């Protein structure tokens, strides 16, 4: 797995102050040519980073950023360019450097072909009502629909071609939602975002906005929702109500930060995401801008304390940095004694480093410097459990357990053409969360039958059925991927991931009874779990790394787990 470290120092004429930062300024710095190097990031893109192991620094260049923004922003288009196939819709949109959205290249007469294809990919997840689904069309999510329509709106604003009919359907869906929305006691995140997007498109009902601002403002559950109401009112010219909404949002944010709220949310968010959004929206509305330095300081501290960030946090932090970008225009820097009248975004080669490079702050204001170092771990990373536990086990097709120690970090041997059922079980200490599980395969194994046990393919292992059905699955050449929403788990009776089945699966006297399910761990404190299974075959003789299986909460990435990585030997068929 690719690994990354970043360090940041503040240049104030004298000694720099180092800070830990994220890796992803490279794609931002080299966006024009960066697609060529996208495959370098595949190991990092879908799963968390664990920056504790020794690194092999094999990157072709060292990205360096010097600017006036005091936090570095990790997202970039490349991250989700590679993720387009397995990614959920909220992640796919980052293919455009969302939400900074660089304008299309004017030198290209017909417009960027890649960009047009990416927008078409977005529309592939739109259903007939105009709503967008998370993993596919159907079961449209209204907050996500507003998010995607916001993305498409910004793409149109900077000059990308967006198909008129499906875009109009998305706008109509949001308008219908607002027109038919019932009163609520708490929540409102989706309707606040819908009103913001409609206002950005000149279609928001001013009466609805004023009603919510005057009578329901305290019922909106997040600072982002209140700020979106304020931004929508500002766009429609109602500054007094907009200022009141932003004041409520800022107060709400302070309360959430003080309370250290970390619960799973329906709007894919977190305090860090909301803080970044407040910076972006207050700048956009030109309201409460005096609060920006304080907010930026809070965000920077929160970001420093985090090892990982979600795509939502990354996207809104990027938008916040873009909103604050004017501060960097007055930067006075020099590189090797040559003056540079702007921020610096460039990659330093090995030869540059050998010669030495000096960046000097020639101005009066403090300026941040970010150096990103990337490389691959020299040693396998150990198993870890932070909020989740993940276990792998294997069975013959008749249900007999097979010991494969390499699945937990040791060594194991299989014979060529052995067929096994791989079973992966995840347990969580919480009842909620959108999680992504990835079981990566040794190179000598391949998935033979891309169907889950839940489909009834393996009657002898029917006890493997899970109370939580996956929202999305992928059977790829090198891994099995499944996504779950733990809030959709079944009743407590099935919460352990198993469903009640007869222990006698025999069909006649010549068919043995299937093995019973393994005994439950009496010491387990898991509040929810999910189990998946698939068939693999040993196809290639040799000695292979058995990669770790991982699980992460996609919107609280500090919650994750990883098995050990072992060694699997496959002996040739005699």
Q: pLDDT digit string (tens) for 110-142?
A: 344 445 666 777 888 899 999 998 888 877 889
pLDDT of residue 21: 42
Count other C-beta atoms under 10 Å from residue 517's C-beta: 18
> For residue 91, what pLDDT band results from cuts at 50, 70 and 90?
low
Higher per-residue confidence, 196 vs 448: 196
Q: Has residue 144 got a pLDDT over 70? A: yes
Higher per-residue confidence, 222 vs 522: 222
- The mean pLDDT value of the chain amounts to 74
> For residue 431, what pLDDT band results from cuts at 50, 70 and 90?
confident
Distance of CA 551 to the CA centre of its chain: 13
**Least confident residue range of 65-69, 327-331, 368-372, 532-536:** 65-69
Query: Which of the residue ranges 254-263, 440-449, 489-498, 520-529 has the most confident prediction, judged by mean pLDDT?
Result: 440-449
pLDDT of residue 355: 83
Q: Say whether the peptide bond before residue 99 is cis (omega within 30 degrees of 0).
A: yes
Query: Which of the residue ranges 255-259, 270-274, 289-293, 559-563 has the most confident prediction, judged by mean pLDDT?
Result: 559-563
Count other C-beta atoms under 10 Å from residue 172's C-beta: 13
pLDDT of residue 370: 64
> For residue 257, what pLDDT band results from cuts at 50, 70 and 90?
confident
Q: Has residue 75 got a pLDDT over 50? A: no
DSSP state of 460: G
> For residue 82, what pLDDT band results from cuts at 50, 70 and 90?
very low
> For residue 323, what pLDDT band results from cuts at 50, 70 and 90?
confident
Q: Burial level of 268, CB count in 10 A (0-12/13-18/19+)?
A: buried
| Nearest-angstrom CA–CA distance, 555 and 387 | 13
Percent of the chain past pLDDT 70, that is, above it, reads: 66
pLDDT of residue 49: 32
Residue 167, helix vs strand vs coil: helix
Q: ∠144-149-152 over CA atoms, to 5°?
A: 130
> For residue 385, what pLDDT band results from cuts at 50, 70 and 90?
very high
């Amino acid at each position: 797995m690719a690994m990354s470290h970043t360090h940041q120092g503040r240049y104030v004429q004298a000694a720099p102050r180092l800070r830990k930062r994220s890796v992803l300024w490279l794609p931002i710095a080299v966006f024009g040519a960066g697609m060529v190097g996208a495959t370098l990031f595949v190991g990092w893109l879908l799963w968390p980073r664990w920056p504790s192991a020794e690194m092999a620094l094999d990157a072709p260049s060292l990205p360096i950023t010097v600017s006036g923004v005091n936090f570095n922003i990790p997202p970039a288009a490349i991250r989700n360019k590679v993720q387009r196939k397995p990614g959920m819709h909220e992640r796919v949109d980052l293919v455009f450097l969302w939400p900074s959205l660089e304008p299309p290249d004017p030198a290209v007469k017909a417009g960027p072909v890649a960009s047009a294809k990416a927008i078409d990919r977005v529309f592939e997840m739109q259903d007939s009502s105009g709503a967008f689904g998370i993993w596919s069309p159907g079961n449209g999510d209204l907050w996500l629909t507003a998010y995607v329509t916001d993305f498409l709106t910004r793409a149109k604003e900077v000059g990308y071609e967006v198909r008129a009919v499906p875009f109009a359907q998305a706008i109509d869906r949001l308008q219908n939602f607002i027109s038919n929305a019932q009163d609520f006691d708490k929540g409102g995140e989706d309707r606040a975002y819908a009103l913001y997007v409609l206002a950005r498109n000149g279609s928001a009902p001013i009466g609805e906005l004023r009603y919510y601002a005057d009578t329901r403002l305290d019922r909106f559950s997040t600072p982002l929702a209140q700020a979106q109401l304020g931004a929508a009112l500002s766009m429609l010219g109602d500054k007094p109500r907009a200022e009141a909404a932003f004041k409520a949002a800022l107060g709400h944010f302070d309360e959430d930060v003080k309370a250290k709220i970390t619960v799973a949310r329906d709007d894919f968010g977190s305090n860090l995401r909301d803080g970044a959004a407040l910076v972006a929206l207050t700048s956009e509305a030109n309201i409460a801008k005096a609060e920006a330095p304080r907010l930026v300081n809070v965000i920077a501290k929160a970001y420093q304390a985090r090892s990982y960030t979600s795509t939502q946090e990354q996207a809104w932090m990027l938008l916040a940095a873009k909103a604050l970008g004017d501060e960097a225009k007055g930067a006075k820097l020099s590189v090797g004694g040559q003056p540079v009248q702007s921020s610096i975004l460039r990659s330093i080669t090995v030869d540059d480093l050998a010669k030495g490079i000096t960046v000097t702050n020639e101005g009066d204001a403090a300026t941040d410097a970010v150096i990103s170092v990337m490389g691959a771990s020299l040693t396998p990373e150990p198993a870890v459990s932070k909020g989740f536990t993940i276990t792998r086990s294997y069975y013959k097709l008749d249900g007999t357990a097979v010991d494969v120690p390499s699945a937990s970090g040791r060594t194991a041997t299989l014979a060529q053409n052995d067929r096994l059922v791989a079973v992966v079980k995840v347990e969580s200490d919480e009842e909620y969360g959108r999680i992504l599980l990835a079981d990566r395969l040794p190179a000598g194994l391949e998935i033979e039958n891309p169907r889950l046990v839940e489909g009834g393919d393996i009657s002898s292992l029917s006890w493997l059925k899970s109370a939580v059905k996956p929202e999305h699955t992928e059977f790829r050449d090198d891994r099995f991927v499944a996504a779950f929403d733990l809030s959709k788990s079944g009743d407590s009776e099935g919460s352990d991931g198993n469903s009640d089945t007869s222990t006698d699966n025999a069909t006649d006297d010549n068919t043995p009874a299937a093995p019973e399910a393994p005994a439950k761990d009496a010491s387990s404190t898991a509040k929810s779990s999910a189990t998946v299974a698939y068939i693999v075959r040993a196809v290639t003789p040799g000695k292979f790394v058995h990669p770790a299986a991982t699980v992460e909460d996609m919107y609280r990435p500090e919650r994750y787990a990883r098995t050990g990585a072992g060694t699997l030997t496959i002996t040739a068929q005699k």
